[in-house]
Structure 1
């Protein structure tokens, strides 16, 4: 599986790649409040910013990494997105953030500053294309909507807004994984070696951005899965801005299919089980409909903890972009991360691990349905169902934000058509 543009987890697990081949030096670099923008001029424009495209980073640990962004866009998939944009005379501005776990509202201020700087530096009157990958599509959606709504802000001069596998209707962190992560952090968060990893991962799941994105969130193992207050507050603010920017054409892509065909993961199946030095018969299950015990968590010298859910859809197997995580053992995902952590904690992990799960359901990525509804999750997406003006779904359920020729070329063609 090709690596994603946005690495959701960041370097949080032992053996995970934490460095990337160096990117070409940007032609210009803009320090911004809360972030940085890297400018790559099209060779057709002679080192002048004439036809700008802003590409926003998404959710992950810590600050944005230019090398990671560049490699995701140019090297890790089967389509060189920046090269193709340059070939049609578009200048590329890669927007990164000082803290990718910060509130979407806060990072939207950085995006607004980037849009304003772009307009100030632009030669001519060509309108902008603005969007992003994963949560970057939500950050820029909010930023453009705010620029239209707030009379103290200038016109964003944007003709096209785009999103790439963005969680418009929320994303899915398996409740079983959330519970295991918080449980392990409570027990071994002070342990040398694995402790900082656990603390970082638990902090990532409990960060402002994750709480705003996750449709179901728990802060500790015994919590009832539900939207965090931060999500409700963010959605209210977005609604007050009209929910979407109104003047640009809105387009988007999903790394999942539109046919309703799932990724093959069945509900209520043991995804990972560990037993050994620190754990006793600890297991996580895939999400099913109805009442379910999704996890059994037990420290070797402690009492078992059961984690239950009720009323959730069978979302792990839903059509959509799936978790990807590069590791020493190859690409893995949500439950694969749990398996890695169980092993590092000194336990034997059953070999039949279901490594990954759906992260951004297709209907969320193209704003075409409620991911609470199990029927909607697996229903074919009608062409007129989306809040977007145009969308493209992948031909298979693939890694979240993986840059493919199928999706990348569609976006490039749509950007050309918008003129």
Structure 2
């Protein structure tokens, strides 16, 4: 059998959907049997769309709850929101509506755009909800993952600008208040194949990713560090007072409180290239210490390059919401034609994406001591949240469970 040409490899990669590191159904997951219900109304907003579902018995907007979408690539999709919120472990949309709440699903034209750009869309939907509301029940505003940061900034910015947001409760659902994590080996691989297909690299280098990620690299051989965009975002958060002050602030985390990590061990082989075009590539989980190997990279060319890190903690196995980052990459490569030679063996599918200490804003991510802290033993007033709830097990990032959802539902106005 002849080897694929460079042009065939480029065409084969670009003919498939882009590899995108974000929560959601796996490629082999069954699609839900029922489609999303038609919304009561749809709002076109600057930079986004809101799908509005009135609560049971409501003929208009009475008790609005705004859910902002999280990080991914491209525009928000109504079907995806329903898959996460309704067709998973717990039917959150139905329960909200059964309790008389109106559900506003806030989507963005580009989920990888700057958090500050999407914050303007969140401010617009808040203003629209106030204008459309019947009566004077205050708003509940928050979001999943990045959506929690978008709405946190939107409310704080409105207060700074002396705009009455009429919001009584802010919530976040596994939001990375102190940063999110994508393994450096995965980031490096994304940039390493940029000349063949730039879309994976473009996501890692998108404005939102640079703002969200605790450590980032813009090229495969960069030194991991806080990006300039993240520094600017943190400065903007400081300028608006870090948090909105008027609403009560609550949050939930998909990680545990007692500091127990997952079974992902540091320094383990997570993904290995087996096909002719990628043999020699190996991605490892993050190990602490100096000069730690996190990736061997070989794609098409003969040379194999190494990526090493210094002083990063054992974050892949930390308690928190997990993302199937290695698995998403493997699934995407294995979906290519075998002729292209990108067959991959994945041994560890998931890694910590939002550490529990980040989701409840109580510790930074710099050391194992902080990442694996027993949150249940820490003073809650060290968090920017007034109250928070952690899961009873480490689970998938933004997994909607009865445990976390009912805790949240019981606190809505």
The TM-score, its normalising length taken from structure 1, stands at 0.88
Distance across 2 between alignment mates of 1:246 and 1:406: 27
Alignment length, in residue pairs? 386
1:11-160 aligned within 5 A: 22-45=35-58, 47-77=59-89, 79-151=90-162, 154-160=163-169
Quickly say closer, same or farther: Cα 1:201–1:14, change in 2 above 3 A: farther
Which of 390, 406, 411 is equivalent to 1:409? 406
The answer to whether the Cα contact below 8 Å between 1:12 and 1:201 also exists between their aligned partners in 2 is no
1:75 CA drift (Å) = 1.1
Distance across 2 between alignment mates of 1:104 and 1:253: 20
Match of 1:334 in 2: 325
The answer to whether the Cα contact below 8 Å between 2:270 and 2:284 also exists between their aligned partners in 1 is yes
1:341 CA drift (Å) = 4.5
**Per the alignment, in what secondary structure is the counterpart of residue 44 of structure 1?**
coil
1:17 CA drift (Å) = 8.3
Q: Establish whether residue 376 from structure 1 lines up as the match of residue 370 from structure 2.
A: yes
The answer to whether the Cα contact below 8 Å between 1:20 and 1:71 also exists between their aligned partners in 2 is no
User: Which string of whole-angstrom CA distances, capped at 9 and with x for unpartnered residues, describes residues 182-217 of structure 1?
Assistant: 11233x22xxxxxxxxx3222111100000000111
Distance across 1 between alignment mates of 2:288 and 2:348: 18
1:264 CA drift (Å) = 1.1
1:299 CA drift (Å) = 3.2
Distance across 1 between alignment mates of 2:181 and 2:329: 16
Distance across 2 between alignment mates of 1:307 and 1:176: 7
1:13-412 aligned within 5 A: 22-45=35-58, 47-77=59-89, 79-151=90-162, 154-186=163-195, 188-189=196-197, 199-291=198-290, 292-323=292-323, 333-343=324-334, 344=336, 345-350=340-345, 353-381=347-375, 382-384=378-380, 385-412=382-409
Distance across 2 between alignment mates of 1:247 and 1:34: 26
Distance across 2 between alignment mates of 1:201 and 1:18: 24
Distance across 1 between alignment mates of 2:25 and 2:86: 24
Distance across 1 between alignment mates of 2:250 and 2:115: 20
Q: Gaps (5+ residues) in structure 1?
A: 1-6, 190-198, 324-332
**Per the alignment, in what secondary structure is the counterpart of residue 274 of structure 2?**
strand
User: Which string of whole-angstrom CA distances, capped at 9 and with x for unpartnered residues, describes residues 35-90 of structure 1?
Assistant: 01111111132x1211111111111110000111022111112x211222122221
The answer to whether the Cα contact below 8 Å between 2:278 and 2:300 also exists between their aligned partners in 1 is yes
Distance across 1 between alignment mates of 2:268 and 2:344: 16
Distance across 2 between alignment mates of 1:235 and 1:43: 40
Quickly say closer, same or farther: Cα 1:19–1:8, change in 2 above 3 A: farther
Quickly say closer, same or farther: Cα 1:246–1:15, change in 2 above 3 A: same
**Which one is further off, 83-92 or 139-148?**
83-92
**Per the alignment, in what secondary structure is the counterpart of residue 64 of structure 1?**
coil
Quickly say closer, same or farther: Cα 1:269–1:406, change in 2 above 3 A: same
1:348 CA drift (Å) = 4.4
User: Which string of whole-angstrom CA distances, capped at 9 and with x for unpartnered residues, describes residues 305-329 of structure 1?
Assistant: 1101111110000000000xxxxxx
The TM-score, its normalising length taken from structure 2, stands at 0.89
**Per the alignment, in what secondary structure is the counterpart of residue 294 of structure 2?**
strand
Distance across 2 between alignment mates of 1:49 and 1:230: 37
1:275 CA drift (Å) = 3.2
Distance across 1 between alignment mates of 2:86 and 2:281: 40
Distance across 1 between alignment mates of 2:79 and 2:403: 24
1:11 CA drift (Å) = 9.0
1:249 CA drift (Å) = 0.3
